[in-house]
Amino acid sequence: MDLALITLYIVTNIIIVIIFYRKDLGVFQAPFLVGCIGLTLMLPQLTTIYFMADYYDSGLIYKLAYTMITCNIAFAVGFGLGKKSKIPNTIRTFDLSRLQYLTLFFSFIGFLTIFIYGGGMSGAIDSVIAANIKIFAMLGLSLSLVTILRGYRNSIVYAGLVLSLIPIINYAFFIKGSRTDSLILFLNLFLFLALLLPKRQGAVKFTVLTFLLLGSVLSASITELRHFIKGASNEVEQVSFLDEFKKSFMEADVDLGMDLGNAALGIEYCYQNNSYDYGLQIWNGFVFNYVPKRLVGADIKEKITYKTEYQEIVPILTNNVTTMTGYFYAFAAFSFYGFIFFIGIGYIMGTIWARAAYSDFYRFLYFFVFTMVPAMISHGLQLFFQNLEFTLIFVYPILSIYMVKKVLNTQTPKL
């Protein structure tokens, strides 16, 4: 039964990848990323759970595999429904001629994180504040690329692009070896190229697929790579990346936890203890990110946070090193109906994708949020909602000043 479920999971993701790879700009449609992450990052961990019967009870796979399969299918279905959602007769879009200095300003704020991460201010600023400042680099990058695509190419825009790239590259390759930041950088730049050079879309699609496959091989040696980046060792020089990738399918060392293994154990805990948050984890994430305890006090912040039993086991399972994955948080919300979360997120992404064909604002928004889909799978759903919340609370009120209403015609242009 377990092997059958693993096989079904593989087949499900292969079908999703093939369906979207064949579409125009399909490798940049969010379900394609979900399928690729499922086959490259999640699958080795799923098979590890199967092979390590002495560490993980074989009964864990049933609920975990069910959750993974239904969530991935639901995401693809939700995305398709979102793409078919009704487009309004008028839509708001940017007046890009007035947006250039704001783009430069956002990029400059993000640039300041080079003094936080690995710089003189490291450790002096709250981690949540530092993360929110870092988001501005992603905002600056997305706005710069959208502006350039529309033909507004001058020194101000290019300065904003460079300033936004520096902190992302610094964090991805020199500070932490962040897979998320590496993926954000790569996917944004290649979506930009695909839109800029539509006749080269075939080559771009193949490059993206190759990068994701190669990235999965390197990801299996992420610990060695991070130690090498930090100068802690030169182990990476002796690492056989392909051998490490092969071994990742039946990993022997999970003392600090394994992301999907944590999810399996967490799902079982929620099921046995009937511990669910019914979607209020979104509220908890909002409180964590935007209710400063320095102003309201730690007691008030704790009182307005929704408490569940499963919150107590998360630090025990992860050892504050690994993660719980988005699949766990989906199950922790609605049990076997956790796919509701994924169909909702997929619908949001599909709606943004459809409207990006008409509006530079939605195009910017898609650039900004679709790169978080892999992190949503591997780390947690809150990473996706955090970007949306940040945009709505802090960014949209400013961006609205630079928007105009656009009357739509009946023809649907491409993204």
| Region 321-342 average pLDDT | 93
With 70 as the cut, is the pLDDT of residue 225 above it?
Answer: no
Residue owning tokens 């491409």 = 414
CA distances from 204 to 181, 191, 209, 316 (A): 20, 8, 9, 42
Q: How confident is the model at residue 257 (pLDDT cuts 50, 70, 90)?
A: low
Whether the pLDDT of residue 56 is over 70: the answer is yes
Phi, psi angles (nearest 5°) of residue 93: -140, 170
Residue 49 confidence (pLDDT) above 90: no
Is 294 or 306 the better-scoring residue by pLDDT?
A: 306
Yes or no: say if 300 and 236 are a contact pair by the CB < 8 Å rule. Answer: no
The mean predicted confidence, pLDDT, of the chain is 83
* Nearest one of 282, 272, 280, 261 to 327, comparing CA atoms: 261
The pLDDT, as a whole number, for residue 413 is: 56
Q: Rounded to whole angstroms, what are the CA distances from 250 to 50, 55, 238, 246, 262?
A: 8, 12, 21, 8, 16
Q: What is the pLDDT confidence band of residue 224, given thresholds at 50, 70 and 90?
A: very low
Task: Tell how strand 403-407 and strand 90-94 pair up.
Answer: antiparallel
φ and ψ of 405, to 5 deg: -85, 140
- Reported as a single tens digit per residue, the pLDDT across 6-36 is 999 999 999 999 999 999 899 999 999 999 9
Token pair in block for residue 390: 């940040």
**Structural contact between residues 43 and 65, judged by C-beta atoms closer than 8 angstroms:** no
Print burial letters for 173-203: b (CB count within 10 Å at least 16), e (below 16). eebbbbbbbbbbbbbbebbbbbbeeeeebee
Find the mean pLDDT for residues 90-115.
88
Place of tokens 């569940």: 308
Predicted local distance difference test score (pLDDT) of residue 176: 60
Confidence of residue 217 (pLDDT cuts 50, 70, 90): low
